[in-house]
Structure 1
Amino acid sequence: MRRLAGLLVVPLLLLSTAACGDDKGSTSAQPSNGLPAITAGAEFGEKPTLAKGEGEPPKDLKVEVLSEGKGQVLKKGDQAQVDYLGQVWDGDKPFDNSFDRGEPYAVTIGGGGVIEGWQKALDGKKVGSRLEVSIPPSLAYGSSGQGDIPPNATLVFVMDIVKGTTLPVSAKGTEVAQDNIDLPKVGTNTDGKAPSITVPKKPAPTKLVSNYVIEGSGPAVKADDTVAVQYKGVLWKDGKEFDSSYSKGAPVTFPLSGVIPGWSKGLEGKKVGSRVLLVAPPDMAYGDQAQGPIPAKSTLVFSVDILAVL
């Protein structure tokens, strides 16, 4: 599912959940609005196969609810776990699917990290539902394509929403003293708004810093976990913000193995529910490479709220 990951500056469940069991819908149907036919595996939870699309693909996003679940309605900020199979409109072989891996893909509604067509398709749908979705290039990979997906391709997905989780808005736990004058200070507000980050006028650390600001009480994050976080990142040199999930209006979900070393090493072992100060020197971030608004050889400072793990 890395192919569906959107470009983030960070290349990037101790909660009430809606389990997939009784949430699953009891019926399945072929799409009625011209989407490719499902030729096998038509029921929720079964790996489907798709026919080629016929004629010109839809110019706009099309979403067909093949079977409606009985679970919670997904809204912005919720985390969904989705089994999927993806195919280009005029193709007859999938370019990716999660059914063979036996592991649904986690996505936060409204939080980025996947193509826009996925975000729009899942918003407002019920856990336990099976969808068939046609996504135009403008909501997928546009003129650039991606891997086996050619430029200007319309994508077709069958998507099973197997689980939904309502995430907390903030870290919650015990505040930890920030008494090192050589390190940034991070705000301790727990109202869901972005905390302040104050960078001292001091030389940047040359080694990774990973300190609790608020220590939660959840399990320790493991290296192979997928995490849902709220984060804010600023440059050490001037304190200027370069990225934030708060500005997107929703948390971000990603595998810890797929981010910069400063994150993967800095968050491993930290407890769910915590707010963590990360200071990543260049060799733990982007090194000699500039990355969007991040200049080459930058030391990066993050506040990260670990909201959940899968």
Structure 2
Amino acid sequence: MKLRPMSGLAALVVASALVLSGCSTDADKNESNPNASSSTDASLTTTTPEDLKLLEGIEFQSKAENKAPTDVKVAGNLNKLSGASVRVVREGTGDEIPLNSIAEVHMISVDPSGKQIASTYEEGAPQVIPISAATIPQLVTALQGQKVGVRAVFAAPGVATEEGADQPDPTIFLMEVVGVRKAEVVENSDALPQVTRDDKGVPSIEIPKDFKATKNIQVVQLEKGDGEFISPADTIKANYTGWNLKGNQFDTSFDKEAVEFPLSNVIQGWTYGLSGQQVGSKVLLIIPADLGYGPSSKDDADDAATGDLLFVVDIVSKS
């Protein structure tokens, strides 16, 4: 299984937060069934009142309602922030954003003078950020339970990587959640790819003509396990085989041995498709391209791991 870090502005947001607030919390370690609770431990994850006051000095203005922000003003010394911090500046009115979902987010980054650095609005497509206790605690606390359309300011002081080096500029973003996605457990049917196994348990797949993945991750439970529940913060061991929608296999562990990996460091189709499953379960994951390894191009080989993907995953254990 290839590891796939986040890309673009989303990666910068996550990296800034993890440097200042750590990669995980006790809440991650204590999570057993991720579907049993809808909130994280606020004492570990909330932005401080002092940091919120500093964030009040960041103002984004739009020329019209629901349009991309244009003018930005930044007041105050954001290097005085105690860590990665988030302030909701406008509530949304759409679907609720639950814990262990995937938010589609438009982002604008600016420097301390308010000058724009980059914008997903101009790039034409939002990026995806996990709303998980394994990612950015302050961001999760601010956004989970909010609704699509919510806008928030994210900021973090710059951190010098070498002793004696100048402190770099703070990270400043406006983030607008424009959609929310999750894994959907679906009933098996003839309209979906069908999995068969040989006498050694090695899977094969038959894909209906013109089949396409949906916007959300689809999970077909082939066999239900009765072991521990899996969360996005867990490390698991699993056997798997992957195919593209041409029906070509591009990777498998069944001819070797089960592979151990952290769910926080694989494609998001795996992170959220397997979250909520139990050890011993066997599933078919149907993963849209942007939650896998990206879209296909005319130059891709037939066996390339691009476009919409299919994975059969047998969850062996959790560590």
TM superposition score normalised by structure 1: 0.50
Q: Does 1:189 align with 2:226?
A: no
The answer to whether the 8 Å contact 2:10/2:129 transfers is no
Partner of 2:272: 251
Q: Structure 1 counterpart of 2:60, which letter? A: I
> How far off is 1:241 after superposition?
0.6
3-state DSSP class of the match of 1:100?
helix
Match of 2:147 among 94, 119, 126: 126
Partner in structure 1 of residue 29 of structure 2: none
Q: How many Å separate the matches in 1 of 2:187 and 2:262? A: 19
Q: Which amino acid in the other structure matches residue 170 of structure 2?
A: T
Report Cα offsets for 1:170-212 as digits up to 9, x if no partner. Answer: 7855651121749579x9335785997459xxxxxxxxx6459
> 1:76 aligned to 2:76?
no
2-side partners of 1:53 and 1:73: how far apart?
32
Where in structure 2 are the equivalents of 1:1-310 lying within 5 Å? 2-5=8-11, 34-38=56-60, 41=63, 43-57=65-79, 58-88=81-111, 90-110=112-132, 118-136=139-157, 143=160, 153-169=169-185, 172=188, 176-179=195-198, 181=200, 183=202, 188-189=222-223, 197-198=238-239, 210-211=242-243, 238-244=257-263, 251=272, 254=291, 256-257=293-294, 265-266=304-305, 268=307, 270=309, 276-277=311-312
Tell me the percent identity. Answer: 16
Distance 1:246 1:100, change over 3 A: closer
| Structure 1 residue 154, shift from structure 2 partner | 2.9
Counterpart contact for 1:82–1:104, Cα < 8 Å: yes
1:144–1:87: structure 2 CA closer, same or farther, 3 Å change rule? farther
Separation of aligned partners in 1, 2:314 and 2:8 = 24
Distance in 2 between the 1:258 and 1:151 partners? 38
Asked if 1 retains the 8 angstrom alpha-carbon contact of 2:100 and 2:132, the reply is yes
Structure 1 residues 157 and 171, CA, compared in 2 at 3 Å: closer, same or farther?
Answer: farther
Shift of the 74–258 alpha-carbon distance from structure 1 to 2, 3 Å rule, reads same
TM-fit CA distance, 1:35: 2.8
Aligned length: 216
Query: What letter matches 2:258 in structure 1?
Result: G
User: Where does the alignment leave 5 or more consecutive residues of structure 1 unmatched?
Assistant: 8-30, 200-208, 213-219, 222-232, 278-301, 305-310
In structure 2, give the amino acid aligned to 1:159: M
> Residues 169 and 128 (structure 1 numbering): CA distance in 2 closer, same or farther, change over 3 Å?
same
Q: Is the 8 A contact 1:276 1:303 kept in 2?
A: no
Which residue of structure 1 aligns with residue 211 of structure 2? none
1:50 aligned partner, one-letter code: V
Q: RMSD over aligned Cα, in angstroms?
A: 5.0
Change (3 A) 1:34 1:41: same
Instruction: Give the letter for the 2:147 counterpart.
Output: K
Q: How far apart are 1:255 and its partner, in Å?
A: 5.6
Cα pair distance change 1:143/1:117, threshold 3 Å: farther
Opposite residue 198 of structure 2, the aligned amino acid is D
| Partner AA of 1:266 in structure 2 | A
- The structure where helix makes up a greater share of residues is 2
Partners of 1:33 and 1:268 in 2: CA distance: 40
Give the 3 Å change call, closer, same or farther, for CA 66–94 of structure 1 in structure 2.
same
TM-score (norm. length: structure 2): 0.49
Asked whether the 8 Å contact 2:78–2:157 carries over to 1, the reply is no
The one-letter amino acid paired with 1:268 is: G
Following superposition, the deviation at residue 39 of structure 1 comes to 5.2
Provide closer, same or farther for how the CA distance between residues 276 and 166 of structure 1 changes in structure 2, counting only shifts above 3 A.
closer
Deviation at 1:59, TM superposition (A): 1.7
CA contact (8 A) 2:294 2:307 kept: no
